Structure 1
């Protein structure tokens, strides 16, 4: 990327025609912001482009660069969207699908639309895609379909996405766009290895910062869904440090979202509140309504975790009104089970059933096994009798590893079985739920599972008694090494992790062991040995 910027800058200096000089400087500026160069350099190149041909039509590269710089600073997304849409509408490209500047502008519009969440913005983008001739580039069309409103347009894109993911390749831009297309249809695991490689290149200084950040956020979301929460929060901390160092402010909310979701499931209400406020504080004045849904989702999960079902319902309904899968709010799919459970537990059976009907109408379960698990569990919550058990069994049979969702399904099934007085079978399912929540460190959910076991007449282990089982294999390894006196950096080098990830693991290990300092590790681990 740096080589391309340098080559274009030199070519601009050799261009006799002002229009050519302006165009090349604008392209260099766009590559700079898109690939993660210094933002000040991109701003300087853009200014140079405008000086070179002040009376000419601004190129799409210049408009895309200006939009990016605008939203990264103090500007609002509506203005940036209007600027870039206007440039696309008036550009001299003939809607040629092979025009690289046009394609890059449309990818930038996808980013802007995802932040605003405005239906009119997305609709104008889809109209632009329809005008491309002979047809939109495959990845551009797939990204728009699966990232904008997956409940309604995702099904049209997942088959093509699966084929594209079968050969991720080594082009970083393509990898990032495949990852973006994968987020809301649960395909991030397919590009995990390539994203890990790109993140490693970023740490070594061999990949631009923006590519590094994009790889990190995709890994964060992937690890969160797969129950690798310590790694997710460790990478989020790494991402936020890069944001602070290099000024890519618009990335921060995504990392804060992952941190807030983990904190919500673990019952860390104060952390969720602080992160949600920070997201809102950045998003509100910029008109980033799509980003504010991150805060709403995290607050709803936090309320549900704490058993405040009324608040959980209120936040869930704000994210997506009951009976409607809110258009262009893709993370509303992740909150469906939260909303339906909160509705059932607050006596809003009609609202819960209406939301399940909306999920069924949109065939949400066809998008991914994880979303099918959520849909089947939601349907079971509003279904009486034995049919509910069949739905829950089908939910548990879904392929893939979704630890948090799986533990929640076991808990629902155990509750239903206890009410049917099938206590032995109920105990088995609730015990599996408890083990899953312990593995994740989801403390309020552990307490719910223990309360359910007690309601069935069973004794439960205390947190201290279950501490050995709570630690994952990696956490046990890190704790053991830390107890010998190794520093976080030394542990990271030995286990091929980042030192931030090691620190995050230790932060999660201490409360699991009932301690609050490194010095107490040795005695705590010794007490857990058989």
Structure 2
């Protein structure tokens, strides 16, 4: 069968026809029985094929004459069709019978059939518009306008390829060059932003310019060209000028322009985000203020606040964002899924977007919205990094980077490389982290991509912090930020304030560290999410030079759902343990240092494991070197860990255990958090079996823990 398809259809880069064409050999096999049927029966079968739903009521209304559906009798007797007893719908016994019916019909018969079917659907319905388009002989602006609306409703259902195919058909039915050019440009814009074939975008724009040479600067063409410039070469300045000029010239949009105007505004927001420049954001805000949509895009303010400027704008849109995340299981439009997940990234709502993002990825794998799938992969990668799923992260990144290379998404690839660099820095691959950071800077600086410079600083600072090079970390972070300031439209500041505070405090710049935490408090960042509240408490505790802020450290360590962010949590445990050890509180320090070490080892964060192990040794606890690849599930429990685990296995609560051992419930919880990954269990229910399966030496730790 593939011989009848064109190259694009055979390689999944083009839509398949509704009915597969037959080769000559298959025609001979399937056409004989169809051609032997009466003309009336063949006409009924043709209507059934063109309708595609099998709804007998539609066929009965569409057929002319008084015989109704009796003409189907010969086809039933020949075993070609039957009525499904469960659904009462007409079904073909073999799918290629449908192809044979189409092959034996003339183009005039097919158009007549589409027209008859169109008359059975109400005005404004999608099925009526599609049948009218298939019945059209030449240009028909009314039908083209209907198809234009159908294209966007198709996109909202999640069929990006179908939406572009529909726009292209609408352009064919357009009688004027202006309408044809606009629809070709809209198809190019959706292709660049959603379906992911940048190679066809230029051809579509060229065809749009040929169709309408005088209106080549239309909003649709500008949005498409800007998308290509941004996603391909990362030329943010040209993309920004194109979009702002086109939006300004589009001062009085009609209701039908809302879709493409909304697309243009979202692309402009991405341009500003990658630029990282305040002057471009100021123009964006002014442009949005003066642009009036007939049907306001409720998602745009959420993206502006939670993604564009979360430090200052997230709190006002969090309720709306939370509602969007909750409803994502019903959302099919890849644009809305990606934009909701983007908004969720900096405010720690990504876990609620996972299933929807996976649906977008599955669609991309099956030839659908590739560009959206690339975004979805890297958003899931972001979530995997923060949630400690580091074993899964390389595969996610690699798939996204392969797609970026195949479809020429050069700028999007740097989202994946940023995650690669973070992972390399956290796990001690200093050379890999340095090379990634250098690549980000060398590609981003000439193009004015300030976001890539921030990414590079983050990678370098994390690598330096892991190696306890606090001066180096301070230098990298100071190059992209000012102490005590959270500039507007710098969302990455939410991911860097703890790093900066630690680097400043550990290099004696306590005033700068304190000023920075005060700025975080003034912006009410802790109210955005439990993770940011945990990080803020930790940052303030780290910034305090002369005393140990036990309450802040304890509050951070005991933050709700702290296990969702294991790397951040372990860093806080390490910082607290370091402070305690230096204050000669060795016993208390060991609890937190051991918890940090266990988590770092599970994540493979080697430099951080080294820091924690060195602190433990300094507190008087011998720490065995971990052999690469060693199964940590059977690591020796510390004496106190084993004691707490055995009591928990009997069913005692944290409070009851704490009363027996003269500890705080928080300390008990910290120990259990360290024990679970060592024993490869996720709850108390698994402790008894896990403890009974350990060898005696592992259960006993380094001595007789029960005394």
- Scaled by the length of structure 1, the TM-score of the pair is 0.85
Deviations 1:394-425 (A, max 9, x none): 11222231000110111112122223333222
Q: 1:139 aligns with which of 299, 309, 328?
A: 299
Q: Does 1:116 align with 2:116?
A: no
Which structure is larger by alpha-carbon Rg, 1 or 2?
2
Q: Which residue of 2 aligns with 1:239?
A: 400
2:274–2:449 CA contact under 8 A, matched in 1 = yes
Q: Which residue of 2 aligns with 1:405?
A: 568
1:97–1:136 CA contact under 8 A, matched in 2 = no
Q: Structure 1 residues 136 and 387, CA, compared in 2 at 3 Å: closer, same or farther?
A: farther
Q: Does 1:308 align with 2:308?
A: no
2:244–2:287 CA contact under 8 A, matched in 1 = no
Give the deviation of 1:118 after TM superposition.
Answer: 1.0
Query: Which ranges in structure 1 are unaligned for 5 or more consecutive residues?
Result: 473-526
Q: 2:311 aligns with which of 148, 151, 154?
A: 151
Deviations 1:278-312 (A, max 9, x none): 11222122111122211111011111111111110
Deviations 1:199-253 (A, max 9, x none): 23323x2422112101101100000000111212221111111111111111111
| C-alpha separation in 2, matches of 1:335 and 1:11 | 48
Q: Which residue of 2 aligns with 1:171?
A: 333
Q: Does 1:427 align with 2:590?
A: yes
Give the deviation of 1:95 after TM superposition.
Answer: 8.9
- Corresponding residue SS for 1:213: helix
Deviations 1:302-356 (A, max 9, x none): 1111111111001111232211123322112111111111111111111111111
2:233–2:411 CA contact under 8 A, matched in 1 = no
Q: Which is further off, 59-68 or 91-100?
A: 91-100
Q: 2:217 aligns with which of 55, 58, 76?
A: 58
Counterparts of 1:246-261 in structure 2, within 5 Å, are 246-261=407-422
Name the structure with the higher helix share.
Answer: 1
Deviations 1:241-278 (A, max 9, x none): 11111111111110000010011111111001111111
| C-alpha separation in 2, matches of 1:141 and 1:260 | 31
| C-alpha separation in 1, matches of 2:219 and 2:634 | 52
1:344–1:352 CA contact under 8 A, matched in 2 = yes
Give the deviation of 1:102 after TM superposition.
Answer: 1.1
Deviations 1:97-131 (A, max 9, x none): 98111111000111111110111111222222223
Deviations 1:339-397 (A, max 9, x none): 11111111111111111111111111111111111111010012367771101111122
Greater relative contact order (CA < 8 Å, ≥ 6 in sequence): 1
Q: Which residue of 2 aligns with 1:201?
A: 363
Q: Which is further off, 8-17 or 260-269?
A: 8-17
Query: Which ranges in structure 2 are unaligned for 5 or more consecutive residues?
Result: 1-159, 636-694, 699-707
Q: Does 1:128 align with 2:287?
A: yes
| C-alpha separation in 2, matches of 1:43 and 1:277 | 31
Counterparts of 1:67-466 in structure 2, within 5 Å, are 67-74=226-233, 76-94=235-253, 99-133=258-292, 136-168=296-328, 169-203=331-365, 205-383=366-544, 388-400=549-561, 401-464=564-627
| C-alpha separation in 1, matches of 2:456 and 2:584 | 40
Q: Structure 1 residues 7 and 144, CA, compared in 2 at 3 Å: closer, same or farther?
A: same
- Scaled by the length of structure 2, the TM-score of the pair is 0.64
1:29–1:45 CA contact under 8 A, matched in 2 = yes
Q: Which is further off, 22-31 or 254-263?
A: 22-31
1:439–1:470 CA contact under 8 A, matched in 2 = no
- Corresponding residue SS for 1:166: helix
Give the number of aligned pairs: 474
